[in-house]
Amino acid sequence: MFGDRRLTTVWTMACIGSGRLCARVEKLCQLGHNLQARRKASFVKFKELNLHQNARILPESCQAGRRAPGYSRHCRAISSMRTQQPGSQPQPQSVDPYVLLYDDLKHIYEDIREELQKNTKIPELQSIATYYFGGQGKALRPMVAILMARAINYHLYKENSLLAPQRQVAMISEMIHSASLIHDDVIDQSDIRRGKPSVNALWNHKKVAMAGDFILAVASMMIARLRNNDVTLTLSQVVTDLVQGEFMQLGSKETENERFAHYLTKTYRKTASLIANSVKATAMLAGADDALAEVVFQYGRNVGLAFQLVDDLLDFVSSSDAMGKPTAADLKLGLATAPVLFACEKYPELNPMIMRRFQEPGDVERAFELVHKSQGLEQTRFLARNHCIEAVRHASSLVESPYQKGLTVITDLVLNRMK
Ligand code: GRG
């Protein structure tokens, strides 16, 4: 329906002059994953898991019912993910992932806080480590992980169920995400996140960095408890990717082609790897074979790339009120993201600004203006949309179910989100 692999290359080539390079980069982004995928996996079988004492099958989501305390705040936080411009892609209107997964998600932050609190008796460490699990996040990563888990369970076994280890992966995914946000806030010295003072604005940065490590350590214990080597490797890959992605962000490249390649690899590592490997882990826990795990991974990779592209776009178009953080933040941090890299083609005067990381007076304002005058924002959206189409193509190969449809709806939310 959405074309074949050639289309991927064509749309990549269509949107930037350095298309062939970009397509090569796409391949590079997958390289690390493919090496992993080639290893023979010894998957835990779904039915065996059902019998395992830890593998409590959680009930199917009910659509109405009692709202948990704090749930309305959580809904407000995630409501901005809902479609802003309806109909950008054909979507099954009947499926609302937030409603569909209400029961699965309503206690997720509470469960994470509990997990963190039981692993330390130091009150300040508890406070810092649990600060970003107050329900203000969009919970995108657990939502996608659980949707995929349920879609795969239905695909393989026609089961309307979620395995307890799969829900653990959803929690682990959000924990790794939050640990990275904490480290990011320290590195960027940002004062505000999700419309609140950021963690480092409230506590000493040394303690904050250690709290981030603590979250990662507790997440590692949870991974170990899954007792599945392939899942352990898959989720550990995420942390190495995150660190490398952030590291890459500190450097810059001389030529335009090198820069775009660098940006795409960084984007995969910094954002897409977590979503791709988390959904893959849920599929592995269901007993998916290598081919199915790859389909699932590609869905997550494309959603993740689209998500970051839109994030980079919103930095230029959204208000700081909507985003809960300052706008043009990337330029101020010296970062040249997709809108700037595209704008460079029309306005080469951006090149020296990129090289000096927008440090000279007036650079940020001028770059901001040139991006808006160029086609950079449209080209970024085009690229994001095509990654969403690719994600939908992968989701379409799963057996139809509300969860499988939900995976398609997610791409629309990602593309049209306001924050
Ligand atoms: C030690 C895990 C670890 C990481 C260190 C600092 C670092 C390396 C990586 C930073 C990765 C990072 C912050 C990526 C940004 C990804 C991104 C777009 C975050 C915003 O995601 P949203 O909008 O956030 O889903 P909410 O607030 O909704 O949860």
* CATH class, 4-56+70-81+90-416 region: mainly alpha
* Mean residue pLDDT across the chain: 82
**328 pLDDT exceeds 50?**
yes
Averaged pLDDT, 220-239: 98
Domain boundaries, the chain: 4-56+70-81+90-416
- Is residue 93 very low, low, confident or very high in pLDDT (cuts 50, 70, 90)? low
Averaged pLDDT, 26-49: 31
pTM above 0.75, yes or no: yes
Distance 53 CA to ligand 1 centre (A): 34
Listed in sequence order, the DSSP H helices in 318-417 are 320-323, 329-332, 338-346, 350-355, 363-373, 376-395, 402-416
Is 267 near ligand 1, meaning CB less than 6 Å away? Answer: no
CA dihedral 220, 225, 227, 231 (to 10 degrees): -40
Quick: pLDDT tens for 237-266: 999 999 999 999 988 787 888 999 999 999
Quick: pLDDT tens for 363-375: 999 999 999 999 9
Averaged pLDDT, 122-140: 96
Distance 184 CA to ligand 1 centre (A): 7
Is 181 near ligand 1, meaning CB less than 6 Å away? Answer: yes
Closest-lying ligand 1 atom to the alpha carbon of residue 178: 29
**351 pLDDT exceeds 70?**
yes
Cα–Cα dist 56/66, whole Å? 22
Averaged pLDDT, 380-402: 98
Strand ranges in 171-249 using DSSP code E only, listed in sequence order:
192-193, 196-197
**Measuring from atom 17 of ligand 1, which residue has the nearest CA?**
271
Closest-lying ligand 1 atom to the alpha carbon of residue 78: 28
- Is residue 199 very low, low, confident or very high in pLDDT (cuts 50, 70, 90)? very high
Distance 6 CA to ligand 1 centre (A): 32
Tell me the C-alpha to C-alpha distance, in Å, between residue 40 and each of 6, 113, 169, 234.
Answer: 29, 36, 21, 13
Averaged pLDDT, 55-59: 35
What residue type is assigned to position 407 of the chain? L
**Measuring from atom 24 of ligand 1, which residue has the nearest CA?**
137
Distance 181 CA to ligand 1 centre (A): 4
Which of 53-67, 109-123, 146-160 has the least mean pLDDT?
Answer: 53-67
> What distance, in Å, lies between the first and last C-alpha atoms of the chain?
30
Is 338 near ligand 1, meaning CB less than 6 Å away? Answer: no
- Is residue 86 very low, low, confident or very high in pLDDT (cuts 50, 70, 90)? very low
